[in-house]
Amino acid sequence: MEQLQGKLAQRVFMVHSARNALWEHTRMLLDLLNLYAFRVLQMNSLTVLYT
């Protein structure tokens, strides 16, 4: 029984670690997309301003 609890705890830890790693990459990707969108909007406003 104790061995089963240890395996279960290890499995839960692995799932949480994988989820955290995925979330970290997702957050980085969202930050990059946000920066890209900001730059596009900035360029569009400059284009409108100078045309």
Specify the number of domains making up the chain: 1
Predicted pLDDT of residue 44: 85
How many angstroms separate the Cα of 49 from the Cα of each of 12, 28, 37?
55, 31, 18
Query: pLDDT-based confidence at 2, cuts 50/70/90?
Result: confident
Query: pLDDT-based confidence at 51, cuts 50/70/90?
Result: low
Greatest CA separation for the chain: 74
Which tens digits make up the pLDDT trace of 10-49? 999 999 999 999 999 999 999 999 999 999 988 888 777 7
Report residue 31 as tokens: 């930050």
Which tens digits make up the pLDDT trace of 20-29? 999 999 999 9
Residue span of the structural domain in which 23 resides = 1-51
Report residue 20 as tokens: 């955290």
